[in-house]
Structure 1
Amino acid sequence: MRACDVMDPARAAALQVALGLTPDITSGSALPPFFHQLYFWTPVPPEQLGRDGHPGRGASGLIPDLGLPRRMWAGGRLRFERPLLAGQEAEKRSCVEHAGRKQGRTGPLGFVTLRHEIWQAGALSVQEWHDLVYREDPDPSAAKPAPPQARADEEVARCVQFSSTLLFRYSALTFNGHRIHYDQDYARDVEGYAGLVVHGPLLAQQLMLLAEDLMGPLAEFSFRATAPLMHFEEASLCCNGTDLWVRAPDGRQCMQASAIPASAVLAGAAG
């Protein structure tokens, strides 16, 4: 599947504002890592949406129908080959690298790995592997599995908050219709969450910005969601060396990640 988009600088600047950053992206600016999530929308008509607001099973024409209703972004891996430039056309090439089902501790699970390549000016700019998990509706009577506890040996920690307004803005800018991020009744009554769920990609975006701030331009970044974070919880973005994670107020780990700075790749090539 292929999609083209002009990387509108106004959209990127709007995300900077939403994140509390200075909106300094203009045409020709290098986009921060992961800002390509703002582009390449694939809208489908209302009648093709599922109950959760995402395209219904099989409606996208890319992701197979695994017969399970709940969708979650489980993690991803990225390689940054060269900066994407705002205001210039780019092409996204996507395919399914893996899809299948297996039996988990809490019931059947579906796994899909998408591979994306983003090309600009005839050159490969970003490679991305996008891991999705599908599962059944929660059993209200079943005990919830204990989430992993986060490390407490960070060298750097930054506190961040995720208001319902920020979640709405991020959903709008990424054209993400999943109702767990803006419909509290649905999130609570249907999917069993305590509140609105902070987007996994939004947590990853914050960790990537922290990594770039501490390490300089990134060559690679990988992340895995390990527990949901609610919109009313203040989180800590933590870093120790090239390891990063998100810690909730009760100490649970919501995401773990690893970064490879471009400087390390260059040093390895030179050595």
Structure 2
Amino acid sequence: MQDAPLAEHRQTDLMDPARARAFQVALGSQPDIEAGVPLPPFFHQLYFWDPQPPEGLGRDGHPRVGQGLIPDMGLPRRMWAGGALTFHAPLRAGDLAEKVSVVERVEKKEGRSGPLGFVTLRHQIFQAGHLCVTELHDLVYREDPDPAAPRQVPPQAPVDEVFAEEVRFDSTLLFRYSALTFNGHRIHYDLDYARDVEGYDGLVVHGPLLAQHLMLMASRKAPLKAFRFRATAPLMHFETATLCQKGADLWVRGPDGRQCMQASIET
């Protein structure tokens, strides 16, 4: 394990209610968020943009590694592998917030498919000097796919859920979510790049968008104190997913039965 860079990144942003309402519309929900009301869990993903000039971007559209918090490990493919969130207090729409980000872990090791780089970021979000959200954000970096290598078999999802919802995705929703979160990752909107460079069957549904759906489903029953999630297989933009819950356990099941995400909550 190598030492993580000793650095932190601070940002401030006004939690604009209009942006939150735009996201509600994109999800097909009633846009009812006004200034002063609590934001739904994980809506802070819509804020704290960090735009970079074109020369500051990597080939995948993300900010180039090695120039900020994330070191360059020589691995071109980036994936949001999972995370853990603790909700200490609600973030309120229309109020100024500060986000403080640091690197918790940097590790490189050999996997079955080749070298892997792991980075964990810790974000803390404050309003009026009070800590509202702590988020651990897990990223994985890997080599380009080998077309001759056999595809890894994803895990099969449980089928014993107590509650389930179907959700559908298309390229328009993925584009709108990328725009609202200022996420330039080309696997979500550039089909040629996603298929020909990174080896996917289609546009990839954002991991945090799947997590957002799970959080919204769970929070309709009770306010969330904590949420943990791990991506286990990609979901394509043309696929229908099933959001599943059994007690404190949640998961996303693809149309062929594969598990795309697993999660747990504390209420």
1:41 corresponds in structure 2 to 49
State the match for 2:66 in structure 1.
Answer: 58
Q: Which runs of 5+ in 2 are unaligned?
A: 1-8
List aligned pairs for 1:240-255, cutoff 5 A.
240-255=246-261
Q: 1:225 aligns with which of 208, 212, 231?
A: 231
- Residues 1:124 and 2:131 are matched in the alignment: yes
- State the secondary structure of the residue aligned to 2:225: strand
Normalising by structure 1, report the TM-score: 0.95
Output one character per residue of 1:131-171: Cα deviation in whole Å (capped at 9) or x when no partner: 00000000001001100000000001100001100000000
- Residue matched to 2:121: 114
Paired position in structure 2 for 1:101: 108
Bigger fraction of residues in helix: 1
Matches within 5 A, 1:189-228: 189-214=196-221, 216-228=222-234
Structure 1 runs of 4+ with >3 Å offset: none
Q: Does the aligned pair in 2 maintain the 1:222–1:257 contact within 8 Å? A: yes
Structure 1 residue identity aligned to 2:18: A
What TM-score do you get using the length of structure 2 for normalisation? 0.96
Name the SS of the counterpart of 1:127 in structure 2.
Answer: strand
Q: Pick from 10, 14, 29: which aligns with 2:37?
A: 29
Pairwise CA distance, 1:250: 0.2
* Map 1:158-169 → 2, pairs under 5 A: 158-169=165-176
Shift in Å at residue 117 of structure 1? 0.3
- Structure 2 counterpart of 1:17: 25
Deviations, residues 162-190 of structure 1 (Å, cap 9, x unaligned): 11000000000000000000000100000
The aligned length equals: 259
- Compute the displacement of 1:65 (Å): 1.1
- Structure-1 residue corresponding to 2:99: 92
Letter in 2 for 1:58: G
- Aligned-pair RMSD on alpha carbons? 0.5
Once residues 97 and 139 of structure 2 are traced to their aligned partners in structure 1, the CA distance between those partners, rounded to angstroms, is 24
Q: Does 1:147 align with 2:164?
A: no
